[in-house]
Amino acid sequence: MKDNEKFLSSRSIPLLHELSKSPFNLNHEGVLTPDRFLRYSMSAAGLFYCYALERIDDSVIENLRNLGEERGIVSQMRSMQSGDVVNVIKGFPSENRPALHTAMRGWVSSEISKEIQSSLAKEMMEKAKREFYKLESFLNSIGNNYSTLVQVGIGGSELGPHALYQALSYPGQKRFVRFVSNVDPDSVTATFSDLDLQSTLVVVVSKSGSTLETATNEMFIRSLFKEANLDPNKHFIAVTNEGSPMDDPKRYLKVFYMWDCVGGRYSATSMVGGVALSFAFGSGIFKEILCGAADMDLNALEGLPKNLPAIAALLGIWNRNFLRYSTVAIIPYSEALLRFPAHLQQCTMESNGKGIDKFGDKVTFQTSPVIWGEAGTNSQHSFFQMIHQGTEIVPVEFIGFRSCRYGKDPFSEGTSSQQKLCANLLAQALALAKGEKSDNPNRQFDGNRPSSLLLADIVDAKTLGALLAFYEHKIVFQGFCWGINSFDQEGVSLGKRLADSFLGKMAGNSQEVPSEVSALLDVFDKQKRL
C-alpha cells in the first residue's frame, strides 16, 4: 500500500470525516465553560496551549489521537531524533539523510542524552557542543573590536536567526546585527551605508558554500571593504559545511561548521543562528535558547496526551483535511515577534508544501496550508475584517505573553498597556468563536471561526527556544502523519536552474537556452527600449 494511502486508510479517517459534517458549535450559548477551557489545555516547556476555541469535542480529540497513533507520529519523532534517515524519497534520487537539528541543542540536556542513545545523535551533539565552545573562544578573542555584525545568507540562513534576533533585541544593547539576504544590490548598499567598516564583522552563511545570492552579496560586500582600504579576510567569518568551498581559513577570520543533517529552515539553533545571537547577546543567552528548545524536544517524545506539538499538529490536520480550511494566520501579540510569522511561513510551506509522498506517489489530499501573519494589535486594523466577516474561514494561532519585557508598563484608565494588549488577544479569539447576532447584516458576525492560544509569561531566550521547537515539531508531526518528506525542498531548484539560463543569456554566453527564456528576456529588455 502506498504511504499516502495508509493515511487515507487509517481507521480514524472515516470517523473524522463523519464528525466534520457537524463540528462543534462554538457560538452556541453557554458552551464556552471553564470546564471546556481546562479540558482542552495543556502545558510543557514553559508554554501553555489552549485549543478550546477550535471546533472540536471529545470525539474529535479521541479520533485525532487515534490517527496519530495509527500513523506512529511519536515513534517517527523518536527515530528522527535518534538519527534515522528520514529525509528520503524511497526508490528515487534524494538527499537520503537524517534530520538532526535536535542534536544541535540536545547536548545541553542530560535528559535528552538519556532518552536518545544512538551513536550518530550523540556524535552530532558532541560536534554541536564543540562548535559552541569554539564560538565562545572566538568571541572572547575579538574583545570589543567589533560593534556590528552583518549576517549574509538567504532562506533558513536568515529567517530564523533574524526572527530570534528581533525578539531579543533591547534598548541600550552594545552590539548589533543586520541581515542581508536578497540579491538586490540596493539592499546591500542600504545596509552598509552608515556602518563603520573598521568595527564591522560579516558572517557569510551557506551550507554548500556556493549559494548564488549569498556568493554574489559576499563579493559585493568584500569590494566595499577593499574600497575602504581594509582587508576583508580580517572582517569575514563563515558558517558552512565542513569541506565546502567556504571552508577556507585563508579567506575567513574563523570558520564555523554546520552539517548536511541540519536543514536550513531548522538550523537556527546551530551555528547558523548561534554566531549572530551570541555576538549580540552573549553565548549564555544563546545557550538559554538551546535549553528551551531541548525542553520542547523532550516533550515531543511524550505520549500523545501530553505532547503539545503533536496535538497542535493533529488539530491542524483536522482544520486542513476535514474542515478544509486552506490557510492559517499566526498572530503574535508582541512586537518582539514581528519577524516570527515570516520564519514560520518558510518552515511550514517549504517543509510540507509537497504533492508526493515518501515513495514518490502523488498524494490525493491537501498538505500544507498557506501560512501568513503579522503582529497584533496592528493586524486588527489591517486584515482582521476579512478574518471576522470574510467568505474564507481562517484558523488563527494567537501567541501572547502575560508580562512585558522591559518592565515599563504604564497604567491608564485602570489597566496597563500590557493588559490592554492581552485583552485584545483574548477578545479577538473569543469574538471569532462566539460571533454576534444583529438585525443589521453589516454587523452580523457568524462566529464558529476557530483559533488556538499559545501563551507564556514573557519573551525571553528560553521561551523563544521552546516556541521555535514547538513549531518545528508541529510541522514535522504533520509531515509524518501525511507520509510526506518535510526535510527536502526540490521545489526551489527549478527556478534556480532557469535563473542560470537567464544569467547565461544576459552575460552573452554562447550556450543554447530554452526559446521561452529568450522570448521572456526580450519582453524584459523591450521595456528598456521604450
Task: Using DSSP bridges, classify how beta strands 396-401 and 451-456 pair: parallel, antiparallel or unpaired.
Answer: parallel
What is the rounded CA–CA span in Å between residue 480 and residue 329? 22
**CA distance linking residue 371 with residue 265, whole number of Å:** 15
Out of 54, 158, 288, 350, the active site residue is: 350
Which of 136, 272, 286, 170 minimizes the C-alpha distance to 211? Answer: 272
Cell numbers found for residue 490: 526540490
SS (H, E, C) 67-118: HHHHCCHHHHHHHHHHCCEEECCCCCCCCCEECCCCHHHHCCCHHHHHHCCC
SS (H, E, C) 179-196: EECCCCHHHHHHHHCCCC
Cα–Cα distance list, 420 to 179, 337, 380, 411, 463 (Å): 32, 18, 13, 10, 22
Q: Taking each helix axis from N to C terminus, what angle separates 73-82 and 119-142, rounded to the nearest 10 degrees?
A: 60
Active site residue 29: no
Q: Residue 386: which residues within 8 A CB-CB, separation 6 or more?
A: 392, 394
d(CA 255, CA 205): 10
Backbone angles phi, psi at 330, to 5 degrees: -110, 115
User: Is 28 one of the annotated active-site residues of the chain?
Assistant: no
Catalytically annotated residue among 90, 490, 496, 512:
496
Distance between CA 317 and CA 64 in Å, rounded? 9
Q: For the chain, what percentages of helix, strand and coil (3-state, to nearest 5) are there?
A: 50, 15, 35
DSSP per residue over 307-336, as a string?
-HHHHHHHHHHIIIIIS---EEEEEESSGG
Spot the catalytic one: 381, 413, 526, 528. Answer: 381
User: Which alpha helices (H) appear in 174-329, and where do they start and end?
Assistant: 185-192, 212-227, 271-281, 283-299, 308-317
| Cell numbers linked to 374 | 503579522
Sign of the alpha-carbon torsion through 477, 491, 121, 275: negative
Amino acid type, 406 = Y
- Retrieve residue 86's grid coordinates: 528520514
Sign of CA dihedral 454, 457, 458, 459: negative
Nearest one of 449, 425, 426 to 436, comparing CA atoms: 449
Euclidean distance between CA atoms 54 and 62, whole angstroms: 14
Closest CA to 389 of 443, 450, 325: 443
Over its C-alpha atoms, the chain yields an Rg (Å, rounded) of: 24
Quickly count: other Cβ atoms within 10 Å of residue 275's Cβ: 27
Strand-strand pairing, 47-50 and 97-98: unpaired
496 is catalytic: yes
Q: Which residues are catalytic?
A: 350, 381, 496
